[in-house]
Amino acid sequence: MDAILVTGGAGFIGVNLCLRLLGEGHKVVCVDNLFSSSINNIKHLINHSNFIFFQEDILNFNKNIVVDGIYNLACPASPKQYQKDPIYTLKTNIYGANNVLQLAQRLNIPILQASTSEVYGDPLEHPQVEEYKGNVNCIGVRSCYDEGKRAAETLCMDYRRMYGTNTKIVRIFNTYGPFMSEDDGRVVSNFIVKALKNEPLEIYGDGKQTRSFCYVDDLVEGLIRAANQEFDSGPINLGNDQEYTMLELANKIINITNSRSNIEFKPLPQDDPKKRKPCIQKAKQLLGWKPKVGLNDGLQKTIEYFKNL
Ligand code: NAD
Ligand code: UDP
């Protein structure tokens, strides 16, 4: 039985990953300071004999733990959360990632870094291939996250080059599913919560901007494959390549929930990417991975989760 450290393990993707790892018989050490999540997310895991939780900040984490592998997920991920304290977001991405990388280097264990499609910024190439270097504003309201994640990728590559640390980078595209927080402002949770209450869904801008939504079970499968399989050191995109406008998403959610909600238009936030869709050829070839859950099915499961909250 391997012991796995999951930083950010109480967050949306983290809980889904911890559940999967526990199900496979691993011991899971979860480090999370609950900055952008709630203890409710892991209350069903606290008494699990293979689950250990440290409520700590990765900026200060210095427990003398011994584990066999690391997933570094700790970082607020929704624009609302990462813009709450942008300097803290940048520090988490750089100093926090550096702390966790030091642990991987000292224990000589693999580490998987959760990077993001945001490293491509407001992309001028479509779909986004891993070789695309991006179009990122370094002084805008999203920069703390985008530039922080870019710097964390740099750190991963430099630990690999300087110390031979087994670092892996996955660039996660918009993911949704159970354990999303109701109020962290992401589009899927916002729309579902409003639709279930028959309140207006708010579309920022004209709603023609696109995103490509990956169901969390597919994403977790990709994370596990990336962590366990050997591939060259470069980043791999993980996401679903079915692309939708926000208007299409809103209408889909209104239909599936049989909601009486209408749609209201609000101003578009600064630097909001106009389009986003991953090229997932590399993940298909190197990991034998592709998403299996379509948007309708994934939304049904997510809506059920929110109904039962
Ligand atoms: P989330 O906000 O739900 O979870 C992040 C977790 O990290 C939270 O539990 C939070 O409390 C914890 N955290 C934040 N800063 C911390 C710190 N300094 N020390 C300890 N814990 C800290 O977000 P998520 O959607 O689960 O995202 C997980 C990871 O995946 C993040 O690194 C995010 O950047 C990346 N990612 C997510 C998406 C997505 O669509 N969900 C897309 C791209 C990348
Ligand atoms: N968005 C929206 N209404 C909402 C929340 C978000 O129209 O209630 C838009 C947002 O402006 C963006 C897209 O939906 O264009 C995805 O937003 P999210 O914050 O989920 O992800 P990100 O922008 O980080 O991809």
CA 22 to each of CA 1, 122, 190: distance values in angstroms, whole numbers, following the listed order: 10, 37, 30
pLDDT in tens, 123-138: 999 999 999 999 999 9
Distance (Å, whole) CA 228 – CA 173: 20
pLDDT in tens, 27-53: 999 999 999 999 999 999 999 999 999
**C-beta of 211 in contact with ligand 2 (< 6 A):** yes
In the predicted structure, residue 20 carries a pLDDT above the cut 90: yes
pTM, full prediction: 0.99
Can you tell me the distance from the alpha carbon of 249 to that of 255, in angstroms, rounded to the nearest whole number?
10
Residues with CB under 6 A from ligand 1: 7-8, 10-14, 32-37, 57-59, 73-77, 81, 92, 96, 114, 116, 172, 174-175
Task: Confirm whether 145 is a catalytic residue.
Answer: yes
Q: Nearest 5°: phi and psi at 26?
A: -80, 160
Percentage of residues of the chain with pLDDT beyond 70? 100
Cα 290 from Cα 221, distance rounded (Å):
9
| 89 vs 271: CA distance, rounded Å | 17
**pLDDT surpassing 80 at residue 1:** no
* Ligand 2 binding pocket includes 117 (Cβ within 6 Å): no
Residue 223 has pLDDT above 80, yes or no: yes
How much of the chain is in helix, strand and coil states, percent to nearest 5?
40, 20, 45
Give the number of the ligand closest to the Cα of residue 267: 2
pLDDT number for residue 292: 98
Least confident of 45-59, 71-85, 225-239, 253-267: 225-239
Higher local confidence (pLDDT), 298 or 62: 298
Ligand 2 contacts CB of residue 194 (under 6 A): no
Rounded mean pLDDT, 202-229: 98
